[in-house]
Chains A and B, each alone.
Chain A
Amino acid sequence: SQTIHQWPATLVQPVGSPLSLECTVEGTSNPNLYWYRQAAGRGLQLLFYSVGIGQISSEVPQNLSASRPQDRQFILSSKKLLLSDSGFYLCAWSRAGSNTIYFGEGSWLTVV
């Protein structure tokens, strides 16, 4: 069966520090991968999605970037965090050609 792992689960970082959130998917090949952010009382906002290694599409211009160095690895990064980057970040995957998205457990980021 397929599983998705996301870490760290919680993170407290000072303003201006870098960020790296990692996500890996097991049990499938060539998945579509996604990074979402969920703010309190609001719907999920798509940040990035990837259909293959090195292929990243950005949905929202922002202080964040994403990379896909391996088929089942997706990384969310920032060089300098802002207070407004605080939130709940979710990695997700879907099979190529399938519509259903499955989410990881999420990472709580607090920028102080």
Chain B
Amino acid sequence: AQKITQTQPGMFVQEKEAVTLDCTYDTSDPSYGLFWYKQPSSGEMIFLIYQGSYDQQNATEGRYSLNFQKARKSANLVISASQLGDSAMYFCAIAPQGAQKLVFGQGTRLTINP
């Protein structure tokens, strides 16, 4: 079975600061993918970034980067130069190789203060 743990239920950050959202995972599968999604108050689920377990480099997508530490089973999301529009719920998820479903964590509510 797979499990995602997001230990920060809520975070408050000042605009323009960088923020790190924590995600640890547990899986016995040798190959898997890690995903981060953003859910604003409107409810939609927006894909942010993907990291494969065998990828040599940390994934980056614009202001988003993933700090992937395989030995520690962590996949933290880093948002640089935070903006007010970054205020949302953020979910980390895992999908093992050969499995079709995403297993989500409980999410972290990020609030960006002006």
Q: Do A and B come from one complex?
A: no
> Which residues on A are within 8 Å of B, measured CB to CB?
none
